[in-house]
Structure 1
Amino acid sequence: MSSFEKVYEDIFNDIDLIEPKPILKWAGGKTQLLDVLKEAAPKKFNKYIEPFFGGGAFFYSLSPSNAVIADSNEELINLYNVVSKDVESVIDELKVMPNDKDFFLDVRAQDTSTLSEVERAARMIYLNRTCFNGLYRVNKQGKFNVPFGNYKNPNICDEDKLRSASNLLKRTKIIHGDYKQVLREYAEPGDFVFLDPPYLPISEYSDFKRYTKEQFYEEDHIELANEVKRLHELGCHVLLTNSNHPLVHELYSEFNISVHQTKRNISSKGGKRKGEDVLVKVEPKRNIIVVPDEIQLHQQVEKYPSTRFMGSKANLLKHIWGVASQFDFDSVADIFSGSGVVSYMFKAQGKEVFSNDYMALSSTFTKALVENNKSKLTEKDLNKLLTLDVETDNFVSSTFKGLYFSDEDNAFIDQVRTAIPYLNNKNKQALAMSSLVRACMKKRPRGIFTYTGLDRYNDGRRDLQLSLREHFIEAVNIYNDAVFDNGQNNKSRHGDAMTARRKADLVYIDPPYYSPYSDNEYVRRYHFVEGLAMDWKDVDIQENTKTKKFKNYPTPFNSRQGAYNAFDQLFKKHKDSILIVSYSSNSLPTKSEMLEILSNYKNNVEVVSVNHKYSFGNQGNKVGQNKNDVEEYLFIGY
Structure 2
Amino acid sequence: MRLAVSPQNTSTVVSRPLLKWAGGKTQLLGEILPKIPNKYGRFIEPFFGGGAVFFAVRPVNGIIADSNPELINMYRSVAADVDAVITQLHHYKNTEEVFYAVRALDVSRLSNIEAAARTIFLNRTCFNGLYRVNKSGQFNVPFGKYKKPKIIDEEALRSASEILKKTTIICGDYKTVLQENAKAGDFIFIDPPYLPVSEYADFKRYTKEQFYEEDHIELAEEVQRLHELGCYVVLTNSNHPLVHEHYQKFSIKVVQTKRYISCNPKRRTGEDVIVTVPPKQRFNLRLVPAPLPQQAIKYPSTRYMGSKNKLLSEIWAVTSQFEFETALDLFSGSGVVSYMFKSHGKAVVSNDYMAMSATFAKAMIENNQITLSQDEALSLLEPKNTIDHFVETKFQGLYFSDDDNRLIDILRFNIKAIKNPYKQAIAMSALIRACLKKRPRGIFTYVGHRYNDGRKDLLISFRNQFLEAVNVINAAVFDNGKKNRARNGDAMTLQNRESSLVYIDPPYYSPLSDNEYVRRYHFVEGLARDWKDIEIQEHTLTKKFKSYPTPFSSRKGATEAFDILFKRFQKNVLVVSYSSNSQPTLDEMVAIMAKHKNHVEVVPIDYKYSIGNQKNKIGNNKNSVQEYIFVGY
Provide the TM-score with structure 2 as the length reference. 0.55
CA gap of 1:561–1:626, structure 2 versus 1, over 3 A, is farther
Match of 2:359 in 1: 364
CA gap of 1:423–1:502, structure 2 versus 1, over 3 A, is farther
Q: Equivalent of 1:336, from 321, 331, 336?
A: 331
Structure 2 residue 460 is matched with structure 1 residue 462: no
Structure 2 residue 283 is matched with structure 1 residue 305: no
Match of 2:263 in 1: none
Q: Equivalent of 2:487, from 488, 493, 496?
A: 493
1:519, CA displacement in angstroms? 1.7
Counterpart of 1:590 in structure 2: which amino acid? T
Match of 2:377 in 1: 382
Match of 1:545 in 2: 540
Structure 2 residue 345 is matched with structure 1 residue 350: yes
Q: What is the alpha-carbon distance in structure 1 between the residues aligned to residue 298 and residue 595 of structure 2?
A: 39
Match of 1:199 in 2: none
- The SS at the match of 1:446 is helix
Q: 8 Å contact 1:513–1:557 — kept in the other structure?
A: yes
Match of 2:473 in 1: 479
CA gap of 1:491–1:304, structure 2 versus 1, over 3 A, is same
1:314, CA displacement in angstroms? 0.3
Q: In the TM superposition, what whole-angstrom CA distance separates every residue of 1:92-131 from its partner, at most 9, and x where no partner exists?
A: xxxxxxxxxxxxxxxxxxxxxxxxxxxxxxxxxxxxxxxx
Counterpart of 1:461 in structure 2: which amino acid? R
Q: What is the alpha-carbon distance in structure 1 between the residues aligned to residue 430 and residue 362 of structure 2?
A: 12
Q: What is the alpha-carbon distance in structure 2 between the residues aligned to residue 574 and residue 557 of structure 1?
A: 18
Q: 8 Å contact 1:381–1:423 — kept in the other structure?
A: no
Q: Percent identity?
A: 60
Q: 8 Å contact 2:378–2:467 — kept in the other structure?
A: no
CA gap of 1:296–1:618, structure 2 versus 1, over 3 A, is closer
Provide the TM-score with structure 1 as the length reference. 0.54
Q: In the TM superposition, what whole-angstrom CA distance separates every residue of 1:250-288 from its partner, at most 9, and x where no partner exists?
A: xxxxxxxxxxxxxxxxxxxxxxxxxxxxxxxxxxx9643
Structure 2 residue 315 is matched with structure 1 residue 320: yes
Q: What is the alpha-carbon distance in structure 2 between the residues aligned to residue 588 and residue 511 of structure 1?
A: 12
- The SS at the match of 1:413 is helix
- The SS at the match of 2:442 is coil
Structure 2 residue 282 is matched with structure 1 residue 288: yes
1:398, CA displacement in angstroms? 0.4
- The SS at the match of 2:576 is strand
Q: Equivalent of 2:519, from 524, 540, 545?
A: 524
Q: 8 Å contact 1:353–1:370 — kept in the other structure?
A: yes
Q: 8 Å contact 1:288–1:606 — kept in the other structure?
A: no
1:439, CA displacement in angstroms? 0.2
- The SS at the match of 1:474 is helix
1:468, CA displacement in angstroms? 1.1
Q: Equivalent of 1:600, from 595, 604, 618?
A: 595
CA gap of 1:457–1:287, structure 2 versus 1, over 3 A, is closer
1:381, CA displacement in angstroms? 1.6
1:289, CA displacement in angstroms? 1.3
Aligned pair count reads 354
Q: In the TM superposition, what whole-angstrom CA distance separates every residue of 1:451-510 from its partner, at most 9, and x where no partner exists?
A: 101x32223322111121110011000100110000000000001111111425100000
Q: 8 Å contact 1:355–1:363 — kept in the other structure?
A: yes
- The SS at the match of 1:344 is helix
Q: 8 Å contact 1:452–1:547 — kept in the other structure?
A: yes
Counterpart of 1:565 in structure 2: which amino acid? E
- Structure 1 residues without counterparts, runs of 5 or longer: 1-234, 236-284
Counterpart of 2:440 in structure 1: which amino acid? P
- The SS at the match of 1:387 is coil
Q: What is the alpha-carbon distance in structure 2 between the residues aligned to residue 562 and residue 619 of structure 1?
A: 20
Q: Equivalent of 1:569, from 537, 551, 564?
A: 564
Counterpart of 2:488 in structure 1: which amino acid? H
Counterpart of 1:441 in structure 2: which amino acid? L
Q: 8 Å contact 1:355–1:493 — kept in the other structure?
A: yes
Q: 8 Å contact 2:611–2:621 — kept in the other structure?
A: no
Q: What is the alpha-carbon distance in structure 1 between the residues aligned to residue 320 and residue 461 of structure 2?
A: 42
Q: In the TM superposition, what whole-angstrom CA distance separates every residue of 1:121-148 from its partner, at most 9, and x where no partner exists?
A: xxxxxxxxxxxxxxxxxxxxxxxxxxxx
1:626, CA displacement in angstroms? 7.4
1:383, CA displacement in angstroms? 2.9
- The SS at the match of 1:393 is coil
Match of 2:433 in 1: 438
Q: What is the alpha-carbon distance in structure 2 between the residues aligned to residue 287 and residue 481 of structure 1?
A: 37
Q: 8 Å contact 2:617–2:623 — kept in the other structure?
A: no
Q: Where in structure 2 are the equivalents of 1:230-249 lying within 5 Å?
A: none
Match of 1:373 in 2: 368
CA gap of 1:402–1:598, structure 2 versus 1, over 3 A, is same
Q: 8 Å contact 2:288–2:314 — kept in the other structure?
A: no
Match of 1:68 in 2: none
Q: CA RMSD in A?
A: 1.7
CA gap of 1:426–1:502, structure 2 versus 1, over 3 A, is farther
Q: What is the alpha-carbon distance in structure 2 between the residues aligned to residue 547 and residue 498 of structure 1?
A: 31
Q: In the TM superposition, what whole-angstrom CA distance separates every residue of 1:18-38 from its partner, at most 9, and x where no partner exists?
A: xxxxxxxxxxxxxxxxxxxxx
Q: Which has the larger radius of gyration?
A: 2
1:358, CA displacement in angstroms? 0.3
Q: 8 Å contact 1:618–1:627 — kept in the other structure?
A: no
Q: 8 Å contact 2:610–2:621 — kept in the other structure?
A: no
Counterpart of 1:289 in structure 2: which amino acid? F
- The SS at the match of 1:611 is strand
Q: In the TM superposition, what whole-angstrom CA distance separates every residue of 1:569-625 from its partner, at most 9, and x where no partner exists?
A: 000000111100011110011111111111111111101000011123235434476
CA gap of 1:569–1:374, structure 2 versus 1, over 3 A, is same
- The SS at the match of 2:604 is strand
- The SS at the match of 1:493 is strand
Q: 8 Å contact 2:381–2:410 — kept in the other structure?
A: yes
Q: Equivalent of 1:400, from 395, 398, 401?
A: 395
Q: Equivalent of 1:429, from 424, 427, 442?
A: 424
